[in-house]
Amino acid sequence: MKTVKNKEKREIKRAKELDKSEISEMKGKNQPFELDRRSVYKCVQCGTCRSVCPVFNVVGWESANTRGRMLIIKSLLEGRHPSEDVLPSLASCTTCRICAAKCPAGVNPPEVVEAARAQLVKCGITTEVQEKLRASVITSGNSFGEAKDRTHWLSETERSQLPEKSDYVYFVGCFDSYRYPEFAEKTFKVLQRFGVTLLPDEQCCASPLLRTGFREDAEKVMKRNLEQIRKVGAHTIITSCAGCYTTLKNNYPEELHVISLPEFLAEHLDELKLKKLDLTVTYHDPCHLGRHNKIYEAPRKVIQAICTLKEMKNIKENSRCCGGGGGVRIGYPDISLELARNRLEDVPECVDYIVTSCPLCVRNLRDAGGDIEVIDIVELVAMAME
Ligand code: SF4
Ligand code: SF4
Protein backbone atom coordinates (compact mmCIF):
# COMPACT_ATOMS: atom_id res chain seq x y z
CA MET A 1 0.00 0.00 0.00
CA LYS A 2 2.84 2.30 1.02
CA THR A 3 4.70 1.51 -2.22
CA VAL A 4 1.62 2.40 -4.30
CA LYS A 5 1.27 5.71 -2.46
CA ASN A 6 4.95 6.51 -2.95
CA LYS A 7 4.64 5.65 -6.65
CA GLU A 8 1.64 7.99 -6.96
CA LYS A 9 3.56 10.77 -5.25
CA ARG A 10 6.55 10.27 -7.54
CA GLU A 11 4.28 10.35 -10.62
CA ILE A 12 2.58 13.56 -9.51
CA LYS A 13 5.97 15.14 -8.80
CA ARG A 14 7.29 14.08 -12.19
CA ALA A 15 4.25 15.42 -14.06
CA LYS A 16 4.39 18.66 -12.15
CA GLU A 17 8.05 19.07 -13.01
CA LEU A 18 7.24 18.78 -16.70
CA ASP A 19 5.82 22.26 -16.65
CA LYS A 20 6.68 23.57 -13.20
CA SER A 21 8.44 26.62 -14.47
CA GLU A 22 5.58 27.42 -16.86
CA ILE A 23 2.91 27.19 -14.17
CA SER A 24 4.77 29.13 -11.50
CA GLU A 25 5.41 31.84 -14.05
CA MET A 26 1.67 32.02 -14.80
CA LYS A 27 0.61 31.95 -11.13
CA GLY A 28 2.88 34.87 -10.41
CA LYS A 29 1.56 36.82 -13.34
CA ASN A 30 -2.11 36.57 -12.41
CA GLN A 31 -2.93 34.65 -15.56
CA PRO A 32 -6.12 36.13 -17.10
CA PHE A 33 -9.21 33.96 -17.07
CA GLU A 34 -10.30 33.86 -20.70
CA LEU A 35 -13.43 32.24 -22.10
CA ASP A 36 -15.81 32.77 -24.96
CA ARG A 37 -17.95 35.39 -23.20
CA ARG A 38 -21.01 34.75 -25.35
CA SER A 39 -21.19 31.12 -24.17
CA VAL A 40 -21.36 32.39 -20.57
CA TYR A 41 -23.54 35.49 -20.99
CA LYS A 42 -26.15 33.49 -22.89
CA CYS A 43 -27.22 32.14 -19.48
CA VAL A 44 -30.13 34.22 -18.24
CA GLN A 45 -30.05 32.52 -14.82
CA CYS A 46 -33.59 31.22 -15.18
CA GLY A 47 -32.78 28.15 -13.08
CA THR A 48 -34.49 25.61 -15.34
CA CYS A 49 -31.34 23.52 -15.12
CA ARG A 50 -31.32 23.62 -11.33
CA SER A 51 -33.90 20.88 -10.98
CA VAL A 52 -32.22 18.50 -13.41
CA CYS A 53 -28.58 18.68 -12.32
CA PRO A 54 -27.93 15.26 -10.75
CA VAL A 55 -25.05 16.55 -8.64
CA PHE A 56 -27.18 19.29 -7.12
CA ASN A 57 -29.84 16.72 -6.49
CA VAL A 58 -27.38 14.84 -4.29
CA VAL A 59 -25.33 17.56 -2.59
CA GLY A 60 -27.83 20.42 -2.49
CA TRP A 61 -25.30 23.31 -2.62
CA GLU A 62 -26.32 26.21 -4.85
CA SER A 63 -22.76 26.27 -6.19
CA ALA A 64 -23.13 22.65 -7.33
CA ASN A 65 -26.05 23.21 -9.64
CA THR A 66 -25.65 24.32 -13.20
CA ARG A 67 -26.74 27.91 -12.62
CA GLY A 68 -24.37 28.18 -9.66
CA ARG A 69 -21.49 26.94 -11.81
CA MET A 70 -22.37 29.43 -14.53
CA LEU A 71 -22.47 32.28 -11.98
CA ILE A 72 -19.05 31.31 -10.60
CA ILE A 73 -17.59 31.20 -14.11
CA LYS A 74 -19.14 34.61 -14.84
CA SER A 75 -17.57 36.05 -11.70
CA LEU A 76 -14.18 34.67 -12.79
CA LEU A 77 -14.61 36.35 -16.14
CA GLU A 78 -15.48 39.59 -14.41
CA GLY A 79 -12.34 39.68 -12.33
CA ARG A 80 -12.76 37.27 -9.40
CA HIS A 81 -9.33 35.90 -8.57
CA PRO A 82 -9.15 32.24 -9.66
CA SER A 83 -8.53 30.17 -6.55
CA GLU A 84 -9.07 26.70 -5.18
CA ASP A 85 -12.37 27.87 -3.68
CA VAL A 86 -14.09 27.34 -7.02
CA LEU A 87 -12.95 23.74 -7.43
CA PRO A 88 -15.71 21.97 -5.45
CA SER A 89 -18.23 23.60 -7.80
CA LEU A 90 -16.39 23.37 -11.11
CA ALA A 91 -14.71 20.00 -10.60
CA SER A 92 -17.91 18.24 -9.52
CA CYS A 93 -19.80 18.48 -12.83
CA THR A 94 -20.10 15.06 -14.47
CA THR A 95 -20.54 16.74 -17.90
CA CYS A 96 -23.76 14.73 -18.25
CA ARG A 97 -25.31 17.45 -20.44
CA ILE A 98 -28.88 17.11 -19.20
CA CYS A 99 -28.79 20.83 -18.31
CA ALA A 100 -27.90 21.67 -21.91
CA ALA A 101 -30.78 19.52 -23.15
CA LYS A 102 -33.22 21.46 -20.95
CA CYS A 103 -31.79 25.00 -21.22
CA PRO A 104 -34.28 27.34 -22.95
CA ALA A 105 -31.48 29.78 -23.82
CA GLY A 106 -29.36 27.21 -25.67
CA VAL A 107 -26.45 27.32 -23.20
CA ASN A 108 -24.07 24.37 -23.16
CA PRO A 109 -22.94 24.38 -19.50
CA PRO A 110 -20.65 21.30 -19.60
CA GLU A 111 -18.75 22.83 -22.50
CA VAL A 112 -18.38 26.07 -20.53
CA VAL A 113 -17.33 24.12 -17.41
CA GLU A 114 -14.68 22.23 -19.39
CA ALA A 115 -13.35 25.49 -20.83
CA ALA A 116 -13.27 27.00 -17.33
CA ARG A 117 -11.39 23.97 -16.02
CA ALA A 118 -8.81 24.47 -18.76
CA GLN A 119 -8.38 28.08 -17.63
CA LEU A 120 -7.96 26.97 -14.03
CA VAL A 121 -5.25 24.52 -15.16
CA LYS A 122 -3.54 27.43 -16.92
CA CYS A 123 -3.62 29.32 -13.62
CA GLY A 124 -2.16 26.28 -11.82
CA ILE A 125 -5.39 25.57 -9.92
CA THR A 126 -6.16 21.87 -9.86
CA THR A 127 -7.14 19.20 -7.37
CA GLU A 128 -4.66 16.57 -6.22
CA VAL A 129 -6.82 13.90 -7.81
CA GLN A 130 -6.78 15.70 -11.16
CA GLU A 131 -2.97 15.92 -10.96
CA LYS A 132 -2.78 12.24 -10.16
CA LEU A 133 -4.92 11.37 -13.16
CA ARG A 134 -2.82 13.57 -15.39
CA ALA A 135 0.39 12.03 -14.06
CA SER A 136 -0.93 8.53 -14.78
CA VAL A 137 -1.77 9.35 -18.39
CA ILE A 138 1.51 11.14 -19.03
CA THR A 139 3.78 8.56 -17.44
CA SER A 140 2.01 5.35 -18.42
CA GLY A 141 -0.23 6.21 -21.37
CA ASN A 142 -3.32 5.07 -19.48
CA SER A 143 -5.57 6.61 -16.86
CA PHE A 144 -4.82 3.93 -14.26
CA GLY A 145 -1.03 4.25 -14.27
CA GLU A 146 -0.82 0.55 -15.24
CA ALA A 147 2.59 -0.66 -16.33
CA LYS A 148 1.51 -3.84 -18.11
CA ASP A 149 1.02 -4.09 -21.85
CA ARG A 150 -2.36 -2.90 -23.09
CA THR A 151 -2.86 -6.05 -25.11
CA HIS A 152 -2.18 -8.40 -22.18
CA TRP A 153 -5.61 -9.94 -22.78
CA LEU A 154 -4.58 -11.24 -26.24
CA SER A 155 -2.86 -14.61 -26.63
CA GLU A 156 0.69 -14.62 -28.03
CA THR A 157 -0.63 -16.02 -31.30
CA GLU A 158 -3.37 -13.39 -31.59
CA ARG A 159 -0.86 -10.65 -30.90
CA SER A 160 1.58 -11.93 -33.52
CA GLN A 161 -1.22 -12.18 -36.09
CA LEU A 162 -2.54 -8.63 -35.74
CA PRO A 163 -2.57 -7.05 -39.21
CA GLU A 164 -0.19 -4.09 -39.60
CA LYS A 165 -2.59 -2.48 -42.08
CA SER A 166 -6.36 -2.51 -41.86
CA ASP A 167 -9.44 -0.49 -42.75
CA TYR A 168 -10.69 -0.88 -39.19
CA VAL A 169 -9.07 -0.16 -35.86
CA TYR A 170 -10.64 -1.34 -32.63
CA PHE A 171 -9.75 1.40 -30.13
CA VAL A 172 -9.93 -0.51 -26.84
CA GLY A 173 -9.63 2.30 -24.27
CA CYS A 174 -8.11 2.25 -20.78
CA PHE A 175 -11.12 0.74 -19.02
CA ASP A 176 -11.54 -2.33 -21.18
CA SER A 177 -7.77 -2.81 -21.46
CA TYR A 178 -7.15 -2.82 -17.74
CA ARG A 179 -10.39 -3.21 -15.80
CA TYR A 180 -12.63 -5.23 -18.10
CA PRO A 181 -10.30 -7.24 -20.35
CA GLU A 182 -13.15 -9.74 -20.74
CA PHE A 183 -15.11 -7.02 -22.61
CA ALA A 184 -12.05 -6.33 -24.77
CA GLU A 185 -11.67 -10.05 -25.59
CA LYS A 186 -15.33 -10.39 -26.52
CA THR A 187 -15.35 -7.20 -28.59
CA PHE A 188 -12.20 -8.26 -30.41
CA LYS A 189 -13.70 -11.68 -31.15
CA VAL A 190 -16.77 -10.08 -32.71
CA LEU A 191 -14.77 -7.53 -34.70
CA GLN A 192 -12.01 -9.91 -35.81
CA ARG A 193 -14.24 -11.35 -38.51
CA PHE A 194 -14.31 -7.88 -40.10
CA GLY A 195 -10.50 -7.75 -40.26
CA VAL A 196 -10.04 -5.31 -37.43
CA THR A 197 -6.63 -4.53 -35.95
CA LEU A 198 -5.39 -2.77 -32.81
CA LEU A 199 -3.01 0.16 -32.54
CA PRO A 200 0.52 -1.10 -31.77
CA ASP A 201 0.90 1.29 -28.83
CA GLU A 202 -2.56 2.67 -28.06
CA GLN A 203 -2.55 5.58 -25.62
CA CYS A 204 -5.37 6.92 -23.48
CA CYS A 205 -7.82 8.65 -25.85
CA ALA A 206 -7.24 11.84 -23.79
CA SER A 207 -10.80 12.06 -22.48
CA PRO A 208 -9.77 12.30 -18.79
CA LEU A 209 -7.32 15.08 -19.66
CA LEU A 210 -9.78 17.02 -21.78
CA ARG A 211 -12.65 16.69 -19.34
CA THR A 212 -10.49 17.97 -16.47
CA GLY A 213 -8.88 20.83 -18.40
CA PHE A 214 -5.39 19.50 -19.27
CA ARG A 215 -5.68 20.44 -22.92
CA GLU A 216 -1.99 20.72 -23.76
CA ASP A 217 -1.26 17.27 -22.35
CA ALA A 218 -4.27 15.92 -24.21
CA GLU A 219 -2.83 17.18 -27.51
CA LYS A 220 0.29 15.07 -26.97
CA VAL A 221 -1.50 11.74 -26.41
CA MET A 222 -3.97 12.47 -29.20
CA LYS A 223 -1.04 13.08 -31.56
CA ARG A 224 0.51 9.72 -30.68
CA ASN A 225 -2.76 7.90 -31.36
CA LEU A 226 -3.32 9.77 -34.60
CA GLU A 227 0.13 8.94 -35.94
CA GLN A 228 -0.55 5.25 -35.37
CA ILE A 229 -4.03 5.38 -36.90
CA ARG A 230 -2.59 6.98 -40.04
CA LYS A 231 0.20 4.40 -40.19
CA VAL A 232 -2.31 1.54 -40.00
CA GLY A 233 -4.25 3.23 -42.82
CA ALA A 234 -7.63 2.71 -41.17
CA HIS A 235 -10.68 4.58 -42.44
CA THR A 236 -12.85 3.64 -39.47
CA ILE A 237 -12.21 3.56 -35.73
CA ILE A 238 -14.55 1.41 -33.65
CA THR A 239 -14.76 1.85 -29.91
CA SER A 240 -16.93 0.39 -27.18
CA CYS A 241 -16.30 3.11 -24.58
CA ALA A 242 -18.64 6.12 -24.63
CA GLY A 243 -15.89 8.39 -23.29
CA CYS A 244 -13.41 7.29 -25.98
CA TYR A 245 -16.14 7.60 -28.58
CA THR A 246 -17.07 11.19 -27.87
CA THR A 247 -13.41 12.17 -27.63
CA LEU A 248 -12.31 10.46 -30.83
CA LYS A 249 -15.34 11.81 -32.66
CA ASN A 250 -15.41 15.37 -31.36
CA ASN A 251 -11.88 16.21 -30.29
CA TYR A 252 -9.75 14.45 -32.92
CA PRO A 253 -9.45 15.80 -36.48
CA GLU A 254 -12.57 15.47 -38.58
CA GLU A 255 -10.89 13.14 -41.06
CA LEU A 256 -11.49 10.25 -38.63
CA HIS A 257 -14.60 8.19 -39.11
CA VAL A 258 -15.46 7.04 -35.62
CA ILE A 259 -18.21 4.57 -34.88
CA SER A 260 -19.42 3.22 -31.58
CA LEU A 261 -19.64 -0.52 -31.05
CA PRO A 262 -23.48 -0.49 -30.84
CA GLU A 263 -23.64 1.34 -34.18
CA PHE A 264 -21.25 -1.12 -35.79
CA LEU A 265 -23.18 -4.09 -34.39
CA ALA A 266 -26.51 -2.63 -35.51
CA GLU A 267 -25.15 -2.19 -39.04
CA HIS A 268 -23.90 -5.78 -39.19
CA LEU A 269 -26.74 -7.67 -37.51
CA ASP A 270 -27.31 -9.90 -40.55
CA GLU A 271 -23.69 -11.03 -40.66
CA LEU A 272 -23.57 -11.66 -36.92
CA LYS A 273 -26.44 -14.20 -37.06
CA LEU A 274 -27.42 -13.74 -33.44
CA LYS A 275 -29.76 -16.22 -31.82
CA LYS A 276 -32.80 -15.15 -29.80
CA LEU A 277 -32.47 -15.41 -26.04
CA ASP A 278 -35.28 -15.80 -23.54
CA LEU A 279 -34.29 -12.71 -21.57
CA THR A 280 -35.76 -9.34 -20.67
CA VAL A 281 -33.26 -6.56 -20.19
CA THR A 282 -33.25 -2.82 -19.69
CA TYR A 283 -30.84 -0.31 -21.23
CA HIS A 284 -28.96 2.55 -19.59
CA ASP A 285 -28.02 5.36 -22.04
CA PRO A 286 -24.45 6.53 -21.30
CA CYS A 287 -24.45 10.37 -21.34
CA HIS A 288 -21.51 10.56 -23.71
CA LEU A 289 -23.14 8.23 -26.22
CA GLY A 290 -26.70 9.46 -25.78
CA ARG A 291 -27.11 13.15 -25.01
CA HIS A 292 -23.66 14.07 -26.32
CA ASN A 293 -23.93 12.18 -29.61
CA LYS A 294 -27.58 11.19 -29.97
CA ILE A 295 -26.87 7.49 -30.27
CA TYR A 296 -30.11 6.11 -28.92
CA GLU A 297 -31.47 3.70 -31.51
CA ALA A 298 -28.45 1.53 -32.40
CA PRO A 299 -28.03 -0.14 -28.98
CA ARG A 300 -31.80 -0.68 -28.77
CA LYS A 301 -31.81 -2.28 -32.22
CA VAL A 302 -29.08 -4.71 -31.16
CA ILE A 303 -30.82 -5.60 -27.90
CA GLN A 304 -34.17 -6.12 -29.62
CA ALA A 305 -32.52 -8.44 -32.15
CA ILE A 306 -31.55 -10.66 -29.22
CA CYS A 307 -34.19 -10.34 -26.52
CA THR A 308 -36.96 -8.24 -24.99
CA LEU A 309 -36.19 -4.66 -24.03
CA LYS A 310 -38.05 -3.11 -21.11
CA GLU A 311 -37.20 0.57 -20.86
CA MET A 312 -36.05 2.41 -17.75
CA LYS A 313 -38.08 5.23 -16.25
CA ASN A 314 -35.92 8.01 -17.73
CA ILE A 315 -34.46 7.25 -21.14
CA LYS A 316 -32.63 8.79 -24.08
CA GLU A 317 -32.43 12.58 -23.67
CA ASN A 318 -33.92 12.31 -20.18
CA SER A 319 -31.67 9.49 -19.06
CA ARG A 320 -30.12 10.07 -15.64
CA CYS A 321 -26.33 10.13 -15.33
CA CYS A 322 -24.53 7.18 -13.70
CA GLY A 323 -22.20 9.66 -11.99
CA GLY A 324 -19.01 8.30 -13.49
CA GLY A 325 -17.99 11.04 -15.93
CA GLY A 326 -16.20 14.38 -15.89
CA GLY A 327 -13.61 13.21 -13.36
CA VAL A 328 -16.32 12.99 -10.67
CA ARG A 329 -15.95 9.28 -9.95
CA ILE A 330 -12.31 9.73 -9.08
CA GLY A 331 -12.65 13.19 -7.50
CA TYR A 332 -15.89 12.81 -5.57
CA PRO A 333 -16.57 9.06 -5.23
CA ASP A 334 -19.36 9.45 -2.68
CA ILE A 335 -21.32 11.86 -4.87
CA SER A 336 -20.63 9.68 -7.87
CA LEU A 337 -21.99 6.54 -6.24
CA GLU A 338 -25.04 8.37 -4.95
CA LEU A 339 -25.82 9.36 -8.54
CA ALA A 340 -25.47 5.73 -9.60
CA ARG A 341 -27.81 4.60 -6.82
CA ASN A 342 -30.34 7.20 -7.99
CA ARG A 343 -30.06 5.85 -11.52
CA LEU A 344 -30.76 2.33 -10.30
CA GLU A 345 -34.13 3.59 -9.04
CA ASP A 346 -35.13 3.94 -12.70
CA VAL A 347 -34.67 0.22 -13.41
CA PRO A 348 -37.97 -1.49 -14.18
CA GLU A 349 -39.10 -4.61 -12.35
CA CYS A 350 -38.51 -8.15 -13.59
CA VAL A 351 -35.50 -7.65 -15.83
CA ASP A 352 -32.62 -10.11 -16.09
CA TYR A 353 -29.88 -7.58 -16.80
CA ILE A 354 -29.13 -3.87 -16.99
CA VAL A 355 -27.31 -3.46 -20.30
CA THR A 356 -25.21 -0.44 -21.16
CA SER A 357 -22.50 0.47 -23.64
CA CYS A 358 -19.79 2.17 -21.60
CA PRO A 359 -17.38 0.52 -19.18
CA LEU A 360 -17.43 3.53 -16.85
CA CYS A 361 -21.22 3.22 -16.54
CA VAL A 362 -20.82 -0.53 -15.95
CA ARG A 363 -18.41 0.12 -13.10
CA ASN A 364 -20.41 2.84 -11.42
CA LEU A 365 -23.73 1.05 -11.67
CA ARG A 366 -22.16 -2.19 -10.45
CA ASP A 367 -20.50 -0.42 -7.53
CA ALA A 368 -23.81 1.16 -6.57
CA GLY A 369 -24.78 -2.31 -5.44
CA GLY A 370 -28.17 -3.09 -7.00
CA ASP A 371 -29.65 -6.59 -7.22
CA ILE A 372 -29.61 -6.79 -10.98
CA GLU A 373 -26.42 -7.59 -12.83
CA VAL A 374 -25.03 -4.81 -15.02
CA ILE A 375 -23.44 -5.96 -18.27
CA ASP A 376 -21.92 -4.39 -21.35
CA ILE A 377 -23.80 -4.78 -24.62
CA VAL A 378 -20.96 -6.91 -25.99
CA GLU A 379 -21.63 -9.49 -23.28
CA LEU A 380 -25.23 -9.80 -24.42
CA VAL A 381 -24.05 -10.17 -28.01
CA ALA A 382 -21.51 -12.81 -26.95
CA MET A 383 -24.29 -14.79 -25.24
CA ALA A 384 -26.31 -14.67 -28.45
CA MET A 385 -23.34 -15.90 -30.49
CA GLU A 386 -22.55 -18.97 -28.38
S1 SF4 B 1 -27.85 27.43 -18.04
FE2 SF4 B 1 -29.78 27.73 -19.17
S3 SF4 B 1 -31.31 26.72 -17.89
FE4 SF4 B 1 -29.52 27.06 -16.59
S5 SF4 B 1 -29.88 29.04 -15.59
FE6 SF4 B 1 -28.69 29.46 -17.44
S7 SF4 B 1 -30.23 29.93 -19.01
FE8 SF4 B 1 -31.33 28.93 -17.33
S1 SF4 C 1 -23.55 18.72 -17.08
FE2 SF4 C 1 -24.78 17.55 -15.61
S3 SF4 C 1 -23.59 17.63 -13.69
FE4 SF4 C 1 -22.80 19.25 -15.05
S5 SF4 C 1 -23.94 21.10 -14.50
FE6 SF4 C 1 -25.04 20.15 -16.21
S7 SF4 C 1 -26.59 18.84 -15.21
FE8 SF4 C 1 -25.06 19.36 -13.64
pLDDT in tens, 62-112: 888 999 999 999 999 999 999 999 999 999 999 999 999 999 999 999 999
Side chain identity at residue 374, one-letter code: V
Residues 6+ apart with CB under 8 A from 260: 238, 239, 240, 242, 245, 289, 293, 295, 298, 357
Could you give the CA distance from residue 238 to residue 336 in angstroms, rounded to a whole number?
28
* Structural domains for the chain: 31-122 (no CATH), 148-266 (3.40.50), 274-385 (3.40.50)
pLDDT number for residue 266: 98
Q: Contact 354/284 with Cβ under 8 angstroms?
A: yes
In this structure, are strands 308-309 and 280-284 parallel, antiparallel, or unpaired?
parallel
Nearest residue by C-alpha to atom 8 in ligand 1: 46
pLDDT per position as a tens digit, 207-264: 999 999 999 999 999 999 999 999 999 999 999 999 999 999 999 987 889 999 999 9
CA of 70 to the centre of ligand 1 (A): 8
CA of 28 to the centre of ligand 2 (A): 32
pLDDT number for residue 32: 74
* Average pLDDT score over residue span 265-288: 97
Q: Which of 93, 291, 320, 336 to mutate to test the pocket of ligand 2 (most atoms within 8 A of CB)?
A: 93
**Percent of the chain scoring above 70 in pLDDT:** 92
What mean pLDDT, rounded, does the chain reach?
91
Quickly list DSSP for 154-221. Answer: S-HHHHHT--SS-SEEEE--HHHHHT-HHHHHHHHHHHHTTT-B--TT----SHHHHHHT-HHHHHHH
pLDDT per position as a tens digit, 310-339: 999 999 999 999 999 999 999 999 999 999
Q: Residue 79 phi/psi, 5° resolution?
A: 115, -5
Is 31's pLDDT higher than 70? no
pLDDT number for residue 4: 43
pLDDT band at 18 (very low <50, low <70, confident <90, very high): very low
CA of 88 to the centre of ligand 1 (A): 20
* Average pLDDT score over residue span 332-360: 97
pLDDT band at 26 (very low <50, low <70, confident <90, very high): very low
CA-nearest of 208, 175, 206, 211 to 95 is 211
Q: Contact 384/358 with Cβ under 8 angstroms?
A: no
Q: First-to-last CA distance in the chain?
A: 41
Count other C-beta atoms under 10 Å from residue 101's C-beta.
16
pTM listed for this prediction: 0.91
